Structure 1
Amino acid sequence: MRTRFFAMMTSATLVVASPALSRDLTVVGFGGATQEAMRETLFKPFQEKAGAPLLEESYTGGIAKVKAMVETGTTTWDVVQMDENEMILACDQGLLEPFDWASLPNSAEIIEPAKSDCGVGAFVWSKILAYDGDKTSGVTSWADFWNLEKWPGKRGLRKQARMTLEVALLADGAKPEELYAILATKEGQDRAFAKLDEIKSSIQWWESGAQPMEWLASGEVTMTSAYNGRVIAANQQGRHFKMSWTNQLYAMDFWAIPKGGNRDQAFRIVNFMTSPDPQKAFAEKMVYGVTNAKAMDSISADIKPQLPTAEENMAGALAVSTPFWVDHEEELQQRFNRWVAQ
C-alpha cells in the first residue's frame, strides 16, 4: 500500500501535563486524512483517558527507519501503522514486539484475520475506482477504466506493482478467485503488463493517497484508483466524487510495536485503539472497516453500507494476498520499475 522509500515528518504534537516517563509515547501513522481521523477519534481520547502526553509523527511506509532504530538501540517510535506486508517483513527480521494474544484484553473481540504474530489489525481499507460525479457518469468497472474512447482523459494509478497488476488483470476479465494463480505465472505477469500497455500513455502515476483526490478535483484525471476513505473525506468537504465497488481490492493496515520502545504504554494504547468505542468512532469518521467485531454492531446504519466490509461491497471483491506479495514483490516491482521507465 505504501512506497518503499522513507520520508518522515512531524505532523502533530499533543501536550498535557506529563507524568514521570523516560520518554513520551509516540505513535506514527501514514498522515493525511486518515491520521487526522485517528487524532480525533483515537489519539486525543486516549490522551485524555491516560492523562499523559502523546506525540505523533507520520511517514510514507517502509521498514528502514524502524530497522535503523531497533538495530542502533535508539527506538523513539512506540506504535507504528504498517501495511501487512511490511509488518510481516519487520516481524521476520525481529524488529517488532511479539503479541501474546492469550493475555491481551481485547483478544476475544478481534477478528481472526487481524491477529498477527507482531501486530493487530487497525482497520480494513479498500482501493476502488473513483471519478468526479459532476463531470463523469456511467462508470462501473475496471474495464470502463480502460475504455479511453468512451471516457477520454488521463487515468490515475498507484506507481507500484502491488495492486496495480491486479487492477490490470481484473480489467482484462480475470476472476478474483483465480487472479493470484494467474499472476504467479510468467504468462499471467506478461498479460498484466500487456494490459497496462494499452493505456500507458494515459496513465498519471500517484505516490501519495492525497494525489488522486487533488487530480480529480482539478480535472487532471478522468478516473483514478483511490483509497475509499480518501474519497469519503473529500466528499465531506463538498466534493461529489463517486466510487465503483465492483472488484474492489481490500486489505488491512496494522498497529505494530518496534522493539526498544515504551512497550507497556504501547500495548496500552493499542488495546484502547482496537476496543469497540474508538473503532466505531474512527469507522464513522473515516469509513474504513473495523477489526473489533463488537464495534460493527454499533456503527450507524447510514455508515455501514459505505464500509469496504459491507456485504454488498464485498461481492466480487479481491482480498489482496500478502503471502503472494511477500514472495513476489521484489521481482515484480523491479519489472514494474523497468516498464514505467521505458
Structure 2
Amino acid sequence: MGKELFKHMRKREYPCVCCKKRTHQRDRRTVTAAQRLVLQKWTVGDVSEDEVLCSLCRVKSSISNPDSALHIFQSFQLLHLQKTWAKPMIVVTTSGYYLSVLGPYVAKNNDAAILSHIMKTNKEDVLKWIEERDVFVVDRGFRDSLTLLEDLGLVSAMPAFMKKGEKQMSTADANTSRLVTKIRWVVESANARIKRWKFFDRVLPSSQVPFISDFIKIVCGISNKYFPPLSTGCTEEDSLVAAKMQYLSRQINQLKEEVEERKLDTRSAIWKHPDDLQDFPRLDEDQLRELTCGTYQVKLASSYAEEHFGSGCDIMVHKEDPSLIRVRVTFFGYDMMREA
C-alpha cells in the first residue's frame, strides 16, 4: 500500500501558475515572494505560496529574475497566446472627472472579478474614498459583484435584464434602465475620450504593456486639466430633469396597453414609404431635448442614422390611425427585421 501511494505521488502533476499546463513533480519550482508580487499585479486574485512554475515558463521568460516584470508578464500570456488583450479599470465621477486608473488587467478576467479584486485587496486605498450609501453606476458586466458592493454598504445602479422567456422588458425594468443610462453615458464618453488618442487606437507592442497604466494616467491627467467636463449642467436644471424622469418612470405605459388591448401587433399592415406621410410632425432640437430629457440621445441620433442607412436598410411605415404609426426596419444583407 505504501509503495503504491509513493508511486502515485511521484506521478502527480502540478499546474503552472502562468500557462496553466500540468507539469511533472520533478519540474516544479515554487514561486518566490518577489515573483508572487509581480504575478499578482497582472492577475486577478492572490498567488499562494503553493503555486509552481513549469520549466518552459521559467527558462524562456527568465522568470528566475524576480526584477523582470516584463518577462514574467510575457510568460503569463505572450508566450502562450498569439495576442494579449489588456484592459484598465477606470473610475470616473458623474461629471466625467477621472479619479483613478487601476490595472491593466488581463482581458480574460471579467469586470465583476476585477472589481471584486480591487475591493478585497483595497487597491490604492479605494475603501477610504467611499462612504456608506455611495452609489456605484455599473453596467451588466458587473452583476456578479453586486453582492460584494452591498456587503460594503454601497448602492449599485445597473440596467435591468430581460427575464427568461420575455421578448421585451417590462415597463418598470425599461424605465429603470433608462434612469441608469441617463447617468452612465458619462462613463462611456470618458472611455471614448481616451480612445481618441492615436496611441491607443492600435495594437501596442509587447514591450509597451508594462507601461500602459502610466500612459493612460497621463492622458487622464491631461483631460482633467485641459478638457471641459463632460457634464456641465447646473444643479437646479439637473434636479428638475431628475424629478421629471422619476415622475415619468412611475407612469403607466398607455401605448403598450392600447396595443395589447386592440391586438395591434397581430394585425396585418400595409407598408408604405415614409415620404407618403404628409402630416408627420417636424420637431426642432429643443422639442427633441424635451422628449429625450437631455442631449445625449440627440447627439447620437445622427451617427446612429448614418450607421443604419450606410450599411443599407429600408424603413417602411403603416398608419394604424391618425395618432399611431407602426414602423418596420429591414436590414439589407441580414435576415433581420425590426418593428416598433
Q: TM (normalized to structure 2)?
A: 0.21
Please give the TM-score of this superposition, normalised by the length of structure 1.
0.21
Larger Rg: 2
Considering Cα pairs closer than 8 Å and 6+ residues apart, tell me whether 1 or 2 has the greater RCO. 1
